[in-house]
């Protein structure tokens, strides 16, 4: 089944913080299958830039600047584990706030054009890709990609077994 539970955790942007989080999962024998870390400040700076380009202002400038200042202290970690229920439990007990999202995981043949084909099929079906992350080395036969999409049910109709 290509539907996966993705955990989102705001992690302090400081040396050793990822090691603390991964130690908790290791101690509980929870395996990380996929992971993405994004600097929260970098993300918000991009949004602030869009705000400036479009001229749309839904809040005062001071509000945005305060959020940017605070966000510099954190990174957003997204992870897929082999046991999301246990991961949420142990991370919660350790004081982490964990948000769970449903995403679709696709195993793609590692060759040129496959990601284009997947994104085109989603687009043709009217499915927006909120974000994606994945990897596969040049010598790997397959690559794993995680997609946050606007319509999970429709995405499953296109890729019911997680393979294009």
Question: Per-domain residue ranges for the chain?
Answer: 14-97, 101-158
What percent of the chain stands above pLDDT 90? 65
Most confident of 61-70, 89-98, 105-114: 89-98
Residue of 67, 79, 125 whose CA lies nearest to 105: 79
Give Rg (Cα) of the chain: 18
State mean pLDDT over 73-92.
94
CB 118 within 8 A of CB 162: no
CATH class of 101-158: alpha beta
Closest CA to 6 of 152, 137, 163: 152
Question: Percent of the chain having pLDDT more than 70?
Answer: 79
pLDDT band at 164 (very low <50, low <70, confident <90, very high): confident
pLDDT-derived band at 73, boundaries 50, 70, 90 = confident
d(CA 64, CA 108): 39
Reduced to 3 states (helix: H, G, I; strand: E, B; else coil), residue 72 is coil
pLDDT of residue 127: 97
Question: Using one digit for the tens of pLDDT, what is the confidence trace for 4-61?
Answer: 999 999 888 889 999 999 999 999 999 999 999 987 655 555 555 655 666 666 556 5
More confident residue, 70 or 29: 29
Across the range 82-95, mean pLDDT stands at 98
Sign of CA dihedral 147, 75, 64, 102: positive
Classified as helix, coil or strand, 127 is coil
Q: Which residues pair with 82 in a beta bridge?
A: none
* pLDDT, the chain, mean: 86
């Amino acid at each position: 089944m290509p539907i996966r539970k993705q955990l989102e955790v705001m992690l302090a942007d400081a040396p050793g913080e990822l090691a603390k989080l991964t130690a908790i999962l290791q101690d509980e024998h929870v395996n990380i299958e996929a992971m993405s870390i994004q600097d929260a400040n970098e993300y918000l700076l991009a949004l602030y830039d869009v705000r400036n380009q479009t001229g749309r202002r839904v809040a005062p400038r001071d509000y945005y600047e305060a959020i940017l200042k605070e966000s510099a202290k954190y990174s957003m970690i997204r992870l897929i584990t082999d046991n999301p229920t246990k991961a949420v439990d142990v991370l919660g007990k350790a004081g982490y706030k964990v948000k769970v999202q449903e995403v679709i995981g696709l195993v793609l043949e590692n060759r040129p054009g496959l990601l284009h084909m997947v994104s085109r099929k989603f687009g043709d079906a009217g499915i927006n890709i909120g974000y994606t992350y994945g990897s596969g080395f040049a010598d790997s036969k397959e690559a794993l990609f995680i997609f946050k999409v606007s319509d999970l049910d429709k995405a499953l109709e296109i890729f019911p077994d997680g393979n294009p």
